[in-house]
Every structure is written in C-alpha cells, then in structure tokens.
Structure 1
Amino acid sequence: MRAKATVSRIAALFAILVVTGATAMAAVTASSGRFDQPQRGFAPASTLLEPADPEDAGLDPGPIRESRRLLARMTESDYVDGHPLFAGAVGLLAHDGKVVDTYAVGSAVRYEDGRGTELPTEKQVPMREDTIFDIASVTKLFTSIAVMQLVERGEVDLTAPVATYLPEFGVNGKREITVEQLLTHTSGLEPSLFLWRDWPDERSRVKAVMDVAPQNEPGTTYTYSDLNLITLGVLVERVAGDPLDEVIAERITEPLGMTDTEFNPPAEKLDRVAATEFQATPPRGMVRGQVHDENAWSLGGVAGHAGLFSTARDLSVLAQALLNGGTYDGERILRPSTVLQLFTNYNVEFPGDSHGLGFELDQIWYMGGLTSPSTAGHTGYTGTSLVIDRQSRSIAVLLTNRVHPSRSWGSINAARQAWATGLARALAVEPARGSRAWSSSPGDDATATLTTPELDTHGRGAVVSFSAFVNSEASDRLVLESSTDGGRTWSALRMRVHGTGAPHGAVDGLSGTDHRVWWRVRAKVSETEQVTLRWRFTTDGSYTARGVLVDGIRVSGAHGTLLDGERHPGRLDARGFTWTDR
C-alpha cells in the first residue's frame, strides 16, 4: 500500500505545481458576479471584506432573498414534526471581497429542556449577526492550518510518521501512520472513542488516543475520524511547545483580527453565545458557552477536533485570507503554495471522499451550487458549515444551533445546500450567444422542459446544435429527446459534446459540477417526416447544484434551418426554463 500512497501523493503534488504555475502566469482578471469564468490563481492579497448590496457586486438578489426565506421558514414551529429544523441561524455570503448578505433569524436561546419546552418570550435570546456559535468540527480547519504552519517552518514533515513527533503514538500498528494520513483521514483509525465516559481524566483520555489500534490498514481506506485531529492537536502542542489554544490564537486568530474566535469563551461574552443541547448524559443541562462535543469537553474544552467558538464574520475573514493566498490585511498565516495544498485532492484513490490537507473538497451535500473539485470547507455537528469556492472567489458561512435543544431533531443539510446554492444562482453566467439564454434551476425532485414545435424534416432527418452550461449533480441530467408522434412518446438522442471537460464519445445525458464552461453539443435526428424535440432537465430528491442553461439552439434540415432558437425564442415552449440574460 506504500506504493499506492506514493502515487496518490505524486498526483496531488503535480496538481499543485500545475496550479502554482498558472497562478504565477495568470493576470488578475476578476469580474464581479461571474460564475462561468473560473478565476485563475488567488484574489489580490490586498482584498478585504466590505459590505455591499448584491447588485453592486454584479449579483441577482432574487436567489439570495429566496434562500433567506427558506432559512426563516426552517425556524418556524411547524417546519418538521411539530418543531423547527433549528432554533436560529446566522448566514453570511461574500463574493469577490464583498459581503453581499449577513442574515440573522430565529433564536440563540429558545428552550429550557431537552423536550423542547419553550422559555417565556422575555427569556428567549434572539439571534443577531454577531452571535457566537460552537463551530464543532470546523475547529479541524484551524488545527490543520496550525499543522501546516509547522510544516512551513520545517518543524514537521508531512510524509514522516506521526511517531517521529509523538513516540507514544507509534504502538499497536500505528508506527508508519504519517502526518498526511491524519490530515486526509486515511490513517485507518476508527471514527471516535467515548473518552468522556470510559476514561477518568484528561491524561488517560489522551493516552487512550495514543494507544488505539487502527481498524484498517493505514492508507487503504477513508474513514472520517475525530481521533486523527485529536492526535494532530497533541502534535501541535508537542512541537510548538505551547497549548493548542495559545498556538491557534497567536498564529491564526489574533493576526487575522478574529476577536470572537476562541476556545472556552469568557463569561462576559455569554450573552452573545448560542445555546446548544440539553444533555442528560453526561448531566450537563442546557449547554451554553461550553463546548457541546463531549470528548472536547472532557479534554478541558480544547482539542484538535472540536472546541472553537466563532462568528460568521470571523469565519469569513479566515476564508478570505485563504482566497487571498494565505494573507489578510497585511498579515500572512500561510504561503500561497501551502494554501494550494489545502485545496488539492490527496484522496484520488477514494472517489467521493475528496480531501485536501485538513479541508474537505467537492462535497455537494453541503456546498450545493458552489461545489467544484477545488471548493473547500467543513461542517460542524452543532449545525455549522463553511464553504470556500476558489473558482468564483465566493464564501458561504451558515451557523445554526441545530442541536438546541436536542440532536435528534434532524439534519440541516438542506439548509446548508440552499444557502450556498442561493449565492451560486445569484452569480451570472454570460450567454454563449447573444444577450440571453434559457436557464433552469428547478430545485430538488423536479423536471423542466424546453420543447420545439413539430418540425417538418421532409423525411431527410435533421441536425440539432446548441450550447449547454451544466452545473448539476451526476444524477441530475440534461437530456435531449425526440418524438415522432406529437409528443406522446419520447426517445433520448445521443449527443456529441465539445469543450473543456466535456464527456468523450456519444452520450445521452449531461451533468457534473467539475466544470464551469459552455459546451457545444450536436445530435442527429434519424430520417422521419415530422419530429418534435425537447430538452429535459430532471433532478432527484437531493443535492441540487446551480442548474443548467441552453443557448444557441439551431435545428438544420436538408433544405436549410428548421428552427433558429436565437432569433425566434418564442417558438419554444418553456416549462421550468427562463429566457434570461444571466
């Protein structure tokens, strides 16, 4: 397996070199509000976040308003099974250095017990834009950055065994586990241990992590594990010679001016902290101002996998620093080449589990329409998420207290997707031809169609050509269909596609989120007297990205043009498609 890991590492490093070269050569040509022209390289190092109206950033405010309405609906008492999906939320959206929306809705404190008994109105605490949240596993990003800072200093080698720095870790089959494998969750360690329950004190709990044996041979599987980041937190402390909270404060949050990001927030900030869960086991009551994660709590509130509290504003600053290549407001926390390692997939052997060094990549289940192979981020169990889209230089932060009052009230992935997708759909896609194109973003479990009138081919068949911009989950496909019986039955046409990242050979459907370019498409209609054509975009029940656009439609027969969709868009019957300049 060592050879396989080496191949994976070489592939990742090659990708970094390619991107680094492109960064060095590319001129900065940022264009606000553009989704279809991925930016090359980083944003200018001088980029600072500043508030702006969506229109001033070149964005359509409509999708952002719609995602706001959905968040508000999710806080209503009857949203699911007689309770809200979450008590409250703060969302922030930024594009090209402009904060185009900060939205607070619902309550930071709403319940008095785990059954969902509401506090009297005067004792409830409304959510506000500067509410402080327990960000749970988003903490892992900070620990990973701290590790990479040690790598930059030459104090840690990614390929070295962890036991080089923590000799006590190299037991029970862990001697060869590398720092990189901890960062990419390929160490083979199990997801977690009940440290708070099964060991009596902090020292024995840390020793339990050092002693644990891998469940799988290191390097052979992807298993998301808190133990990986707990170990890295200990490694940072050992190498840096200071506690993890001090290292993160001195090397990340203080330089970036993230004044509300810290472990164990002080009592004077409690009025701004969102409550999390009412815990009966362990008997902690309504948790507020202490870390929700039981293992992090049992480790004194400071751990590599969880424990940080933060605000939407602070997290957006961290995200912009990474979009800037590791710097913000004159303070550098990482080199540009190191930042690229955070955004480069080291897990090419494990499809669906793309991972940079500490950062998740290409996860549509919470990145929504901002998903791409180079989109990075993380979620937190308490109901938090951070999405950083390098291609459009966009940021989506969503912080909720979804475990307040109980973790059993459901998943908020739909909210995470909707918030990120609202920004993605606000970004413009310039039409391939002319000033307008047909656009469809129907949402989950929906179908949109664009249908021609019946065309007379004089028995000679026809050629269909059009441009397609496709940003959808693999199972959400755009197909081109033909009917020879007036639309009663339909058959898919095979298409040939040309353009960057286009599928090879003849295909009967288009989908994917790994490209943001227009493709040119051609298909042939067999010899028939009459034919009706339609473009059909169908989505399944989850994970909808930005959507699709169709432009430049032309149907040509033996005697000339049968349909010119650019000149005569009114001849097309649009259901779920919109003729738009975006």
Structure 2
Amino acid sequence: MRVIQLLFFILTIQLSRAQEGTSTPLNIGFNNALVYGSPFDVGLDSVYINTNVEKIITNGIKKNAFPGAQVLVAKNRKIIFHKAYGYHTYDSIQPVALDDIYDLASVTKITAALPAIMKLVDEGKLDLDVPFSTYWTRWKGIKDKQNITLREILAHQAGLKPYIVFLNEVFRKNGKAKKRFVRTSSSRRFKNQAYDGLYVKNRFNKKMYRLIDRSDVSREKKYSYSGLAFLIFPELVEQLTKDTFEYYLEKNFYLPLNAPTMGFKPKPKGFSNTIVPTENDTLFRHALTQNWVHDENAALLGGISGNAGLFATATDLAKLMQMYMQYGVYDGKRYLSEATVKEFTRVQFPENDNRRGLGFDKPSLNNSELPLSKAYPAPEVGAGSFGHSGFTGTFVWADPENQMVYIFLSNRVNPTRDNRNLYNLNIRPAVQQVFYKATLPSK
C-alpha cells in the first residue's frame, strides 16, 4: 500500500510540474493566495524602492558581500517587487535569474523542521511542555537532558551545545577521510550521497545521535542558539508519522502549496532551474559546491536534515511564508491551526532576554527603538513579525501587522564563508527597511 501511495504521489508531483513548469507561477487571485501587483497598488513609491534597493545591492556586490542576490517582497497578498542582481559567481558569467534555486541553509529550520513539528503539535502527537525524552526516548536515561522540553529546545532556551563539527569524525589527523564512514561510490551500506562521488555510511546518523547524547548541557537556562535538536527532528517525525521526513513535508505542505522546487536534494529531481553555487570547498568536497547542500552536518545525513538542506526559489518560499503570515491558511486551504501558528510565533522567554519564538526568530526585544545599525531586522517591522536567516546568505521574514513578506536570497559564502560583508554592511535589514519607508503621501 505504501509503495502504491508513494508512486501515486510522485506521479502527481510530475504531473504538477508538467502542467505548471518549474517557474512555479502563482495562483490567479483565488481566496488568499499571492498574486502579482505593483508597489503603487499597495500605496508604495516604485521609484524610491527601485533606486534604493539597487543602490544597497550594488554596493554589496562591489564590496564582495555576495556575487549576486535577489529580493522578493509581497504586501497585502501581492508580490510588488521581485528582482535579481549580479551573477552566480564573481567571474560574471551566469547572471542571477528570478527562478534560480537557492540553498536555504538554516532557513530550513522554519521551512522543513517547523511545519512538520507544528502539524504534529496540532494533532496532539507532540506536547511542547512534557520532557522531550517522552518522544526521543534515548534521552530518558541522560540526567542533563531527560527533563528538557520541546518548548525550551525550539526557543533555544534548553542549554544545548550550539554546534558539533561532525566532519571531525570523518577525517583522520592526516586529513584523509575514514573509509568506514565515507566512500567514493555507493553501495548497500553507503547510500547517502553528500556530493558527486561522495557517499556517507547509512548509519552515520546513529553516531551523530551518540555524540549529541554525550554533549554538555548548560546548567544555566538562558538563550543560546543550538541546531543540534534539528538534526534529530527528521528521525522523530518518521517515528511519529511512519512517513519519511521528505515525503511527509511534500505531501502535507510543498505539493498542496504548489511549491515544487521546495525540497531536499534538488539535483536528481531534474529541474530546469539553475541551482546557485555556494562555497568553493577545499576541505570536504574539494570543488565548488553546487546542486548539493553546503552545510556539512546536513551533507553527512545525505542532504536531508532539519537544520539545513532545503532548497527553493523565492516564489515558492513566499507561498510558505504567506501561509504562516495568514496563520496557517493559503489559497483556501488550512495547513495549521491559527492557535498553533500564533503560539509558535510569539516570544517565549522575554524575561530571560530571549527574543525567540518557537523555532522562529523574532525582532530584537526593543527593536523599534534602535537605529538600523543595531536593529534586527529593520526597526520598522511589527513586534509580531517573525522569520529566520541562513548561513549561505538567505533571509525570510513575515510581518502580519504590516502584511508584508520579505525574501532575500544570496550566496554570500561564494567563494568562501569568510566573506562577512553581508553582515558588516547590514544589507538585509537595510533592503527590508526600504519597503517600510516607501509609503506614498496621502492625497
């Protein structure tokens, strides 16, 4: 039955792609779906927007913040701005296109792990306030982890270690890969493909879990960003739903949203869209990383993870963020309950100087009082707004109070992750601010 179901689902996806193409056009004005419009339609100054966004992005390219980028903004359910700038790499050969597919990095946390978790909370299969070890039973006997709740984990309030470099487990001291973990060809035990000609042992995730089990937990409960549990969530979703993580997301979110480019491991799917390259990796893949996930921990899981690994176009991302902004509804279909979305998008522990929601990032606690140079994100965003950033140079934000979705996509890690000017120049909040300052004077 599962095989027949999966084949039918794949056929449906292929039919959808054949009918819609891979540019993922928007629905034509049905209910609360996105449609195309102009800044003037929503009372914004088009000249002001175009002039200032181009100025900020062009300066970013000149200062090597990124070789290229694209910006999409939707307001009042209308995409009023979507433009591409620059090139995929600094050799200026391949210009950025509006239907390019990007490696979303940590934006994966709110576009893959979170929708699955929110749905399971909706269905009563997960409880935010019981020990997480109720579900992830291997933590039941671990003293410093057995009482941590899912709410604390999602709000980065659990005291978990921020990061573990699992790649260190793969290499010997002389820099050569350990063959018991990584091979250059696939086999029955090495099916997880990390890159072209690079395969990871199927059970490497078990080693990851053991190292997470042994990792320290801070005794002081305060805000500390950690992605470790997001490596666990795909396995947890599979245990609770009996579906693979990838299938569960496609079935319940990406396919119904008509967002076919949103997903893991895009290369084998045969999209006509170009996948934007990320870093020129001199350590693990020894090549320009393109078509495969940049994040090493996600790569060691075969490209499917809750912390990173998702790819998408800007328009497909906008549909998911619009659904969140409409508290679980898009194009006449309810995906999540309003109560659950509102709970996940509110600040959880403000008394601990923690701005985070559940999985979602939130504005700085006194954001509206800060200058642009110190605000996060733009100081004009609503207090109820939410989103997330990604290491590769991505950023998504939804603002229900102002009915605005903001998508910024770049590959700032090209050719190296040492490029920091995306942050130093505060480019993403600066571009976002333009759309709040572009209001036309009342007649």
Tell me how far apart the structure 2 counterparts of residues 130 and 45 of structure 1 sit (CA, whole Å): 22
How much has 1:232 moved relative to structure 2? 2.6
More relative contact order in 1 or in 2 (CA 8 Å, sep 6+)?
2
Q: Is the 8 A contact 2:109 2:230 kept in 1?
A: yes
Q: Is the 8 A contact 1:209 1:231 kept in 2?
A: no
Aligned with 1:368 (options 368, 378, 387):
378
Q: What corresponds to 1:74 in structure 2?
A: 59
Establish whether residue 424 from structure 1 lines up as the match of residue 425 from structure 2.
Answer: no
Tell me how far apart the structure 2 counterparts of residues 205 and 254 of structure 1 sit (CA, whole Å): 33
Matches within 5 A, 1:8-23: none
Tell me how far apart the structure 1 counterparts of residues 104 and 207 of structure 2 sit (CA, whole Å): 22
Q: What corresponds to 1:99 in structure 2?
A: 79
Alignment partner of 2:84: what SS?
strand
Establish whether residue 135 from structure 1 lines up as the match of residue 104 from structure 2.
Answer: yes
Give CA deviations for 1:77-115 in whole Å, capped at 9, x if unaligned.
xx23xxx2101111101111111100101112x25xxxx
Q: Is the 8 A contact 2:386 2:398 kept in 1?
A: yes
Establish whether residue 293 from structure 1 lines up as the match of residue 295 from structure 2.
Answer: yes
Alignment partner of 2:290: what SS?
coil
Tell me how far apart the structure 2 counterparts of residues 370 and 315 of structure 1 sit (CA, whole Å): 22
Q: What corresponds to 2:370 in structure 1?
A: none
Tell me how far apart the structure 2 counterparts of residues 379 and 325 of structure 1 sit (CA, whole Å): 20
Aligned with 1:177 (options 148, 153, 168):
148
Cα 1:317–1:398 shift into 2, 3 Å: same
Establish whether residue 167 from structure 1 lines up as the match of residue 137 from structure 2.
Answer: yes
Cα 1:317–1:376 shift into 2, 3 Å: same
Aligned with 1:186 (options 132, 157, 169):
157
Establish whether residue 53 from structure 1 lines up as the match of residue 38 from structure 2.
Answer: yes
User: Following TM superposition, where does structure 1 have runs of at least 4 consecutive aligned residues deviating by more than 6 angstroms?
Assistant: none
Tell me how far apart the structure 2 counterparts of residues 92 and 260 of structure 1 sit (CA, whole Å): 16
How much has 1:227 moved relative to structure 2? 0.4
Q: Is the 8 A contact 1:74 1:86 kept in 2?
A: no
Matches within 5 A, 1:48-447: 48-74=33-59, 76=61, 79-80=62-63, 84-108=64-88, 110=89, 118=91, 124-142=93-111, 143-170=113-140, 171-198=142-169, 200=181, 201=201, 202-217=204-219, 220-267=221-268, 268-269=270-271, 272-351=274-353, 353-363=354-364, 365-413=375-423, 414-427=426-439
Alignment partner of 1:149: what SS?
helix
Cα 1:101–1:131 shift into 2, 3 Å: same
How much has 1:333 moved relative to structure 2? 1.4
Cα 1:88–1:161 shift into 2, 3 Å: same
Q: Is the 8 A contact 1:51 1:99 kept in 2?
A: yes
Q: Is the 8 A contact 2:257 2:319 kept in 1?
A: yes
Tell me how far apart the structure 1 counterparts of residues 329 and 135 of structure 2 sit (CA, whole Å): 28
Tell me how far apart the structure 1 counterparts of residues 168 and 319 of structure 2 sit (CA, whole Å): 36
Q: Is the 8 A contact 1:230 1:305 kept in 2?
A: yes
Q: Is the 8 A contact 2:60 2:422 kept in 1?
A: no
Alignment partner of 2:127: what SS?
coil
Q: What corresponds to 2:186 in structure 1?
A: none
How much has 1:160 moved relative to structure 2? 1.4
How much has 1:209 moved relative to structure 2? 4.7
Measured on the aligned residues, the alpha-carbon RMSD in Å equals: 2.1
Tell me how far apart the structure 2 counterparts of residues 217 and 410 of structure 1 sit (CA, whole Å): 32
Give CA deviations for 1:361-407 in whole Å, capped at 9, x if unaligned.
11454521443321100000000000111111101100001111111
Cα 1:125–1:347 shift into 2, 3 Å: same
Q: Is the 8 A contact 1:71 1:89 kept in 2?
A: no
Cα 1:340–1:227 shift into 2, 3 Å: same
Q: Is the 8 A contact 1:237 1:244 kept in 2?
A: yes
Q: What corresponds to 2:197 in structure 1?
A: none
Q: Is the 8 A contact 2:39 2:80 kept in 1?
A: yes
Letter in 1 for 2:41: D
Cα 1:205–1:89 shift into 2, 3 Å: farther
247-256 vs 194-203, which deviates more?
194-203
Cα 1:173–1:398 shift into 2, 3 Å: same
Aligned length: 370
Scaled by the length of structure 2, the TM-score of the pair is: 0.79
Alignment partner of 2:153: what SS?
helix
State the structure with more CA Rg: 1
Cα 1:370–1:291 shift into 2, 3 Å: farther
**Gap regions ≥5 residues in structure 2:** 1-28, 171-180, 182-200, 368-374
Tell me how far apart the structure 1 counterparts of residues 308 and 87 of structure 2 sit (CA, whole Å): 23
Tell me how far apart the structure 2 counterparts of residues 203 and 395 of structure 1 sit (CA, whole Å): 35
Identity %: 29
Q: Is the 8 A contact 1:90 1:400 kept in 2?
A: yes
Give CA deviations for 1:183-219 in whole Å, capped at 9, x if unaligned.
111111111101122254423433235413333127x
Q: Is the 8 A contact 1:136 1:308 kept in 2?
A: yes
Q: What corresponds to 2:193 in structure 1?
A: none
Letter in 2 for 1:243: T
Alignment partner of 2:350: what SS?
coil
How much has 1:237 moved relative to structure 2? 2.2
Letter in 1 for 2:332: G
Tell me how far apart the structure 2 counterparts of residues 323 and 53 of structure 1 sit (CA, whole Å): 20
Cα 1:45–1:232 shift into 2, 3 Å: farther
Q: Is the 8 A contact 1:163 1:175 kept in 2?
A: yes
Q: Is the 8 A contact 1:230 1:303 kept in 2?
A: yes
Cα 1:193–1:329 shift into 2, 3 Å: same
Tell me how far apart the structure 2 counterparts of residues 242 and 370 of structure 1 sit (CA, whole Å): 41
Letter in 1 for 2:119: Q
Tell me how far apart the structure 2 counterparts of residues 384 and 318 of structure 1 sit (CA, whole Å): 15
Tell me how far apart the structure 2 counterparts of residues 308 and 257 of structure 1 sit (CA, whole Å): 16
How much has 1:426 moved relative to structure 2? 1.6
Letter in 1 for 2:94: V
More strand by proportion, 1 or 2? 1
Tell me how far apart the structure 2 counterparts of residues 126 and 238 of structure 1 sit (CA, whole Å): 43
How much has 1:169 moved relative to structure 2? 2.6
How much has 1:270 moved relative to structure 2? 7.0
